[in-house]
Structure 1
Amino acid sequence: MTRIHTTIGEHLIQIMCDSDKITKWIERNFPVVNIIKPLPDLFIKLEEGYGTAFEDYHVEIAKDADKISFQRADYLIETSLDYHDSNIAVHDELALKHALMNLYSSYLVYHQWGLLIHSSCVIDKGKAYMFAGHSGAGKSTAAKLSHPRELLSDEATIIKIVPGQITVFDSPFRSELVRSGASEKSPLTNIYVLHQATDNHIDPLSQSNSLLVLMNKVFYWSHSLDETRKIFRLLQHVVTSVSISELHFQKNETFWELIS
């Protein structure tokens, strides 16, 4: 059984795994750290050989007195109610990435630390700019067109939420683009909801519309009304702390002339 320590955001994670294939995937995609103290925030035991290949994103959730389970065709998570101790069984690397996103997002919401947002995020002049939108809106495209600016995420952005201060952390949950800089985190300055267009222009959003837009961009698998309320409260801090606009952009780098 291999023991790996890694970090996501500000959280230390201990992973136990007896699969060389899974271990190598983690070492390729997550920072491996040598830490004895402090104790990890999350303990995860990983197994492979579960279920079938990816079918769809539907997740069955069950909760009892001392644990929660999240089950998809290609992964199964069984975790303590505070997400501190978890067993994860997966079919392949894609299932592992999605299962870790599921678990980590749930941990963030439960502890009201922050959120995992379906978006890309780029640093320009020390400030982070997040690009959100529906599937196919151009999140990865905007990230690619932002080169050589540093990239913090191209699929799932990790944000820490403190009233009046939103911080973006480097995300290991990547789609296709690799990390392009040395920054581990940066203050979030703007969020842009993307729309591909024939010209570049910006339309500011009200706080109420921003809240509605961002609500369905959160990676989260809701199992209780209380957890949904936590997401809503966290997003309220976001929309009162950060400027949020619709960005209509051409598929070239000229949109940066409007936002930087």
Structure 2
Amino acid sequence: MRLRTDSPEFVAEMRGRFDGFLGDAAQPDHVFDIELTPFLPEAERDGIDAHKDTVEVSRNGALWQVRRGDFFAEWDPLSHHGRARMVPSPYSLDSVIRILHTLLLAEQGGMLMHASSVVSGGRAWAFTGVSGAGKTTISRLAPTHSHILTDEMSFLRPEDGRYFAYGTPFSGELGRPGENLRAPLAGVFLLAKGQENRIDTLTPSAAVRALMANILYFANDDALTARVFDNAIALASRVPVRKLTFVPDAHVWDMIDAQP
């Protein structure tokens, strides 16, 4: 994805924020033009309410439109080109990129999930659950030989018949971006803290419910909603989705790494 703006200061800020995830591409898959604005009253022409903090994602013909108090963005999936008017904030840019990836990944059979993900022994494990369930904790406890892809937003996508997890630059409580790596996804764990380390099998319907509860998705669009649901079913049918109850101790990783 190529991000373009005429502000050298914001370019420098983006370089620092996405360090480790930058590269050269003569023909990027997607191009996004960014117009920075202090959001004076004229921003209302794009339907922006500067006091609104909820996200609205909808279609306008072939275009996707994304609105929040600090930005307005349009995305054309046919031309792979988009534009955004936003306040000069890296956090606003993070939000635009995340929301855009929820749309892109849904069409590719993948998803952006509120989950941490860690590579251990060449296999990726994703850990999801409600706030406070232990997504960051399980990442902190990972073995020293492991690689943390993210403690916040997991990028999951099928390729050549297998699912892969990718590192993302988005960070949670760890306060640092993930590593720019990918690895085959070996399993997804629904986290719960308890008095013992235990892995329980979920029924197929419970597995899909666990995934759907944690897939980032904002669009009010029936066709895309159905696609997200189908993607969750496909993932649950090909990758084990289990419940992991754990004590916050590094020994839990002995049990995780022992999974087939």
Structure 1 length as normaliser, TM-score? 0.85
Choose from 108, 114, 120 the match for 1:118.
114
Residues 98-177 of structure 1 aligned to structure 2 (within 5 Å): 98-109=95-106, 111-148=107-144, 149-162=146-159, 164-175=161-172, 176-177=174-175
Asked if residue 234 in structure 1 is aligned to residue 234 in structure 2, the reply is no
Q: Which residue of 2 aligns with 1:32?
A: 22
* Distance in 2 between residues matched to 1:54 and 1:95, nearest whole Å: 14
Matched-pair contact (CA < 8 Å) for 1:164–1:237: no
Residue 54 of structure 1 deviates from its aligned partner by 8.5
* Distance in 2 between residues matched to 1:18 and 1:119, nearest whole Å: 34
Q: Secondary structure at the match of 2:25?
A: coil
* Distance in 1 between residues matched to 2:75 and 2:178, nearest whole Å: 33
* Distance in 2 between residues matched to 1:202 and 1:69, nearest whole Å: 41
Quote the sequence identity (%).
Answer: 24
More strand by share: 1
Q: Which residue of 2 aligns with 1:41?
A: 29
- Give the aligned residue type for 1:26: M
* Distance in 2 between residues matched to 1:208 and 1:50, nearest whole Å: 47
Q: 1:25 to 1:198 in 2, by over 3 A?
A: farther
Q: 1:159 to 1:180 in 2, by over 3 A?
A: closer
CA deviations over 1:21-79 (Å, ceiling 9, x no partner): 4312321233222232xx221110112235488864x2123422242211111221112
Q: Secondary structure at the match of 1:99?
A: helix
Residue 213 of structure 1 deviates from its aligned partner by 0.9
Q: Which residue of 2 aligns with 1:79?
A: 75
Q: Secondary structure at the match of 1:129?
A: strand
Matched-pair contact (CA < 8 Å) for 2:126–2:189: yes
- Give the aligned residue type for 2:36: E
CA RMSD in angstroms comes to 2.2
Asked if residue 93 in structure 1 is aligned to residue 83 in structure 2, the reply is no
Q: Which residue of 1 aligns with 2:243?
A: 246
- Give the aligned residue type for 1:48: L
Matched-pair contact (CA < 8 Å) for 1:119–1:154: yes
Q: Which residue of 1 aligns with 2:7?
A: 19
Residue 162 of structure 1 deviates from its aligned partner by 4.6
CA deviations over 1:104-148 (Å, ceiling 9, x no partner): 221121x32411111000011100111000112111111111142
- Give the aligned residue type for 1:80: D
* Distance in 1 between residues matched to 2:51 and 2:7, nearest whole Å: 20
Unaligned runs of 5+ in 1: 1-12
Residue 83 of structure 1 deviates from its aligned partner by 7.3
Unaligned runs of 5+ in 2: 40-48
Structure 2 length as normaliser, TM-score? 0.85
Aligned pairs, how many?
243
- Give the aligned residue type for 2:233: Q
* Distance in 1 between residues matched to 2:206 and 2:22, nearest whole Å: 40
* Distance in 2 between residues matched to 1:53 and 1:197, nearest whole Å: 42
* Distance in 2 between residues matched to 1:15 and 1:163, nearest whole Å: 28
